[in-house]
Chain A
């Protein structure tokens, strides 16, 4: 069974703070790493798909990095806003076509 972990489990920050969290995944047989944002009562929304070691992706104030050799990805949010409050999920895919989600990091941005 593949293990995908995310830390921290939950996070509270003040509006304007920058924050980051981690997704850890198996370092062997890597194919792709997905990041999703899931707001309460809405559908999960795709943020990034990352495939190459050293990849960096950016979407507005949100960016992500990928290290496939050591099996981790960081998600950064610069200048957090209350609308960034959501659960952030990563999902790991390997060449065996396994697709496993992490448990998520729940972010609350306080105004």
Chain B
């Protein structure tokens, strides 16, 4: 497989559930990102990892917990979410460090619905 993959592609969860989103990149990149797109809003950057260290956390609620065990994998752990967290969650990766001008390559996203 090539590029950036995300699983699952669709997820329905209750507010008391715990679930995880998975992202895997097969491009040999060093930086990975989580984005959120809510209905009728621009893409919002949530977390950035560079060389497996978190370098940015854009005031995201603690019910979202990222994990980057190695440079190819990125997880987003979800617990006690709210209905307003329903959105499309996109993962991306880039070759260089966080402050480079590198292009980001996106996965297909996970469509999350919180009931």
B74-112 interface with A by 8 A CB criterion: 90, 98-99, 101-109
CB contacts (< 8 Å) of B45 on chain A: these are 99-101
A9-36 interface with B by 8 A CB criterion: 31-32, 34, 36
8 Å CB contact of A43 from B41, B43, B98, B109: B109
The size of the chain A interface, using a CB distance under 8 A, is 23
Q: Closest approach, in angstroms, between the C-beta of B101 and any C-beta of chain A?
A: 5
CB contacts (< 8 Å) of A51 on chain B: these are 101
Q: A97-B98, A97-B99 are contacts. A46–B105 as well, Cβ < 8 Å?
A: yes
CA distance A36 to B102 in the complex (A): 13
CA distance A42 to B90 in the complex (A): 11
Q: Confirm or deny: B53 has a beta carbon within 8 angstroms of a beta carbon on chain A.
A: no
Interface SS, B side? loop
CB contacts (< 8 Å) of B42 on chain A: these are 4, 89, 100-104
A interface, CB within 8 angstroms of B: 4, 31-32, 34, 36, 41-46, 49, 51, 89, 91, 93, 97, 99-104
Q: Confirm or deny: B32 has a beta carbon within 8 angstroms of a beta carbon on chain A.
A: no
CB contacts (< 8 Å) of B4 on chain A: these are 43
Q: Closest approach, in angstroms, between the C-beta of B47 and any C-beta of chain A?
A: 12
Interface bin, chain B: 20 to 34
The 9 nearest A-B residue pairs measured at CB: A101-B43, A46-B103, A43-B106, A44-B106, A101-B42, A32-B101, A103-B42, A43-B108, A49-B101
CA distance A88 to B46 in the complex (A): 21
Is A103 touching B103 in the complex (CB atoms < 8 A)? Answer: no
Q: Closest approach, in angstroms, between the C-beta of B7 and any C-beta of chain A?
A: 14
Q: Closest approach, in angstroms, between the C-beta of A32 and any C-beta of chain B?
A: 5
Is A42 touching B108 in the complex (CB atoms < 8 A)? Answer: yes
CA distance A36 to B3 in the complex (A): 16
CA distance A54 to B3 in the complex (A): 32
CA distance A4 to B45 in the complex (A): 14
8 Å CB contact of A34 from B3, B41, B99, B103: B103
CB contacts (< 8 Å) of A46 on chain B: these are 103-105
Is B107 touching A89 in the complex (CB atoms < 8 A)? Answer: no
CA distance A70 to B108 in the complex (A): 34
